[in-house]
Structure 1
Amino acid sequence: MTAASGPPRPSVLFVTDLAYEARGRRYCDEDIFLTSRLRETFDVALCHPRDAAALLDGFDAVVVRNSGPVLHHQEAYDAFVARARRSGARVCNTLDGRGDMAGKQYLVDLSRAGFPVIPTVDSRDDLGLLPRSDGYVVKPKLGADSMGLRFTERPELPEGAGGTLLVQPRIDFRYEVSFYFVDHDFQYALHAPHPERRWVLEPYAPSSEDLDFARRFVEWNTLTHGIQRVDACRTPEGDLLLVELEDLNPYLSLDRVPEEVRDAFVARMTACVRELLA
């Protein structure tokens, strides 16, 4: 094989779990598409999250995408983060976010600060701060994909939880909507018009008020570079409340957007990686 002429292209280690089965989503299809497009600009190799720490030194940048819940490979993820920080590796998303990347403590912090978020507490002393509801949700701060989630009739936390669990009221809502950003640049929005089918998404045209809502959380976050998804629910009164600020490996539902939107997203993601390498 003859070597290609010209300067060498930047190399990217793309971290993904192509075999991960997510309810209502095709992780593998999305990442196969993304890597096919990123190869137009970078030399790309895929690896499983368990292999990322051992391989990252051989690449100019690391892109963490649909790698599945960290809980499935917590030790390997911790080793990856430690090695990346020690070596100064360029990682996208950068490892400085304070959304889901750092667990769900941010929901408690934002709730205390009066942000438009589903009311959230993590202490038995604060259970009385929650509004009355027909039911409540208890979930781990380090949970993902509904892992460890349970429903209760009253707000409650077991003794010895030690701040590891969250309690929220169950919220009646009209629909859920997600806003997708690369760095601080809005890309597109999708919504689930049927609450019982979270991942049956349709394009959504956000109002200026909707975008102000989403940008408030993106600006609050400390993520330097990368992709963020702001998940919210629309209450019967018409307000938006934050459900999740996903800044680790948010699924993008690129198969649900028009081709021109998908192309624009890929171009902006490519620019994000280039900026990281600059």
Structure 2
Amino acid sequence: MPADRPRLLYVTDLTYPAKGRRYGDEDVHLAARLRADFDLALCHPLDAAALMPGFDAVVVRNSGPVLGYQKEYEAFRERALALGTRVYNPLHGRGDMAGKQYLLDLTAAGYPVIPTVDRPEDLHRLPAAPQYAVKPEAGADSIGLRFMAYEELAGLTYGGLLVQPRIDFRYEVSFYFVDDLFQYALYAPDPERRWVLEPYEPTPDDLVFARRFIDWNTLDHGIQRVDACRTPEGGLLLVELEDLNPYLSLDRVAEPVRERFADTLARSLHAFLAA
């Protein structure tokens, strides 16, 4: 291999027990494609901080919810910033990478997002609903999620908790981007089986909706997933803006789509390293 090929440290937890998803399979196949363009080594997220020197960039992929290793993740971020190590996705993302504060910010700014508050004095701003979702601001993968009646919300100990109305939605749909380039969309026709995904053909209005959040996040490079729900009235509301380590469900799309995604990712990484 040429000596001047870029060196990537690819961060993944191949054995993370994700419900309905196979992190390991996805990363093995995607890393194999990237090896055509880069010298690449896989490592566990707990080893990334120690191993990052000597690589041109660290690519954070399916590393699992950082809630389980928050201290080590913060140490990784601090060391990467101190060393000037390039991290993909870049560490200034405003979505899930920075916690769930963006749901509060987007609610306040009037974006089409599930209304979200984090203080008891703001509960009156939420629309009436049979139940309300309560979850940790630093949560992921539904960790710590519970549903409560409105009368119970005043008794919560606030500070690090988010409250949202429980939305009666028709289905969930996700839009996948590399940089600002739309790649594909998937949806779960059955709300009770949210990990059983099928290809989805977005409308022009759907893409306008998704791009609003890509533009808001201001990441020049990186993989982003915009998760939304379709309301009974037909509109879309943002559920999550995943910009840290979004699972891609590449096994649910046709091979040409997978290949195009991998090629686009490789070009994005080359551009990221050249910037």
Q: TM-score range by the shorter chain?
A: over 0.9
Q: Choose from 231, 234, 239 the match for 2:235.
A: 239
Between 114-123 and 153-162, the greater mean CA deviation after superposition: 153-162
Q: Is 1:161 equivalent to 2:158 in the alignment?
A: yes
Query: What stretches of structure 2 of length at least 5 have no aligned partner?
Result: none
CA distance in 1, matches of 2:220, 2:181: 12
Q: Choose from 138, 144, 151 the match for 2:140.
A: 144
CA deviation after TM superposition for structure 1 residue 223, in Å: 2.1
The answer to whether the Cα contact below 8 Å between 2:58 and 2:86 also exists between their aligned partners in 1 is yes
Instruction: Tell me which residue corresponds to 2:28.
Output: 32
CA deviation after TM superposition for structure 1 residue 7, in Å: 4.0
CA deviation after TM superposition for structure 1 residue 225, in Å: 1.4
CA distance in 1, matches of 2:238, 2:191: 15
Give the aligned residue type for 2:185.
Answer: A
Instruction: Tell me which residue corresponds to 1:101.
Output: 97
Equivalent residue runs for 1:40-189 within 5 Å = 40-154=36-150, 156=153, 158=155, 160-162=157-159, 164-189=160-185
Give the aligned residue type for 2:260.
Answer: A
> Residue 12 of structure 1: SS of its match in structure 2?
strand
Q: Give the TM-score of the pair, scaled to structure 1.
A: 0.96
Give the aligned residue type for 1:253.
Answer: S
Query: What stretches of structure 1 of length at least 5 have no aligned partner?
Result: none
CA deviation after TM superposition for structure 1 residue 276, in Å: 1.3
Name the count of aligned residue pairs: 273
Q: Give the TM-score of the pair, scaled to structure 2.
A: 0.97
CA deviation after TM superposition for structure 1 residue 167, in Å: 0.3
CA distance in 1, matches of 2:127, 2:233: 16
The answer to whether the Cα contact below 8 Å between 2:120 and 2:158 also exists between their aligned partners in 1 is no
> Residue 191 of structure 1: SS of its match in structure 2?
strand
CA distance in 2, matches of 1:224, 1:274: 13
CA distance in 1, matches of 2:101, 2:208: 23
CA distance in 2, matches of 1:168, 1:59: 42
Q: Is 1:275 equivalent to 2:271 in the alignment?
A: yes
CA distance in 1, matches of 2:7, 2:120: 49
Q: Choose from 256, 259, 278 the match for 2:255.
A: 259
> Residue 195 of structure 1: SS of its match in structure 2?
coil
> Residue 52 of structure 2: SS of its match in structure 1?
helix
CA deviation after TM superposition for structure 1 residue 131, in Å: 0.5
CA deviation after TM superposition for structure 1 residue 71, in Å: 1.0
The answer to whether the Cα contact below 8 Å between 2:115 and 2:165 also exists between their aligned partners in 1 is yes
Structure 1 runs, 4 residues or longer, greater than 3 Å off: 157-160
Give the aligned residue type for 1:34.
Answer: L
CA deviation after TM superposition for structure 1 residue 157, in Å: 5.1
The answer to whether the Cα contact below 8 Å between 1:157 and 1:167 also exists between their aligned partners in 2 is no
CA distance in 1, matches of 2:130, 2:61: 37
Give the aligned residue type for 2:158.
Answer: A
Instruction: Tell me which residue corresponds to 2:226.
Output: 230
CA RMSD, Structure 1 to Structure 2 (Å): 1.1
The answer to whether the Cα contact below 8 Å between 1:173 and 1:235 also exists between their aligned partners in 2 is yes
